[in-house]
Structure 1
Amino acid sequence: MPPLPSSFDAYDAEDRAKKLTGFQKLWYKCKEQPLVPLGVFATIFALTKSALSLKAGNSRKANKFFTARVVAQGFTLVALVGGSAYMNSKDSKTQAEIDAEKAARRKKLWLEELERRAGTSKS
């Protein structure tokens, strides 16, 4: 008979986020604040187009793209600050409250596992 699964194998989303690799963490953060990567790509696009316009000798077009770059950087900054403010207002719990909730969830999982094991040993 295989051993019973342990409820301690389950972990929170916070614990899962701590164990992510570099690209997984980047993808997680992009899903958390999707406007920031959009602003970054818009900034890169505007900067690239302005450099190409300068190289081609079209200074009027390059100037428009330089202006677009500044606007895109401003958008990125506003998205970053706004997203941080939103996430902080959403997560207004103290670390002690978070730890207490985590301990309560683990205790509940442990009690459920004990009940499950007690139920299977009676059979």
Structure 2
Amino acid sequence: MLFSIITIYIVVNDCVYRKIKNKFVLILFITEFNRSGYIYASSLMMLPIIIFLGLILMKLNIIGGADIKILMSMIPWLKPDVISQLIVSTLTIGGVSTVIIYLMERYIIKRDKSIYRTTPFSIPILVSYILVN
């Protein structure tokens, strides 16, 4: 229940204010620890790969720093064999949501083309986590 409330708060905060506070990522991490009760050591070894991929996506302006924090707070609770599913589903859902947001801003909202907004990737990350977990 608390996991769901924190997840919804993070998604809404990311969509509306484009900020994710560190304390809520920490609460999400602790909540997941209480829910699962154990950490997969082999998943912890995947963290450098996730950080590397996150840095590449940040340099390409696809994903922001707070989204990487969310991803890193959830990786230790996943079985190692589903981490690749998490990454692929996050990128797939994120790509679809990016296209949808782009089309909405371009044709429905008629926003100025010079204004570039990034996609709130907390939604694909959290949805993917719920799907693979």
State TM-score, norm by structure 1: 0.30
The structure having more radius of gyration, on CA atoms, is 1
State TM-score, norm by structure 2: 0.29
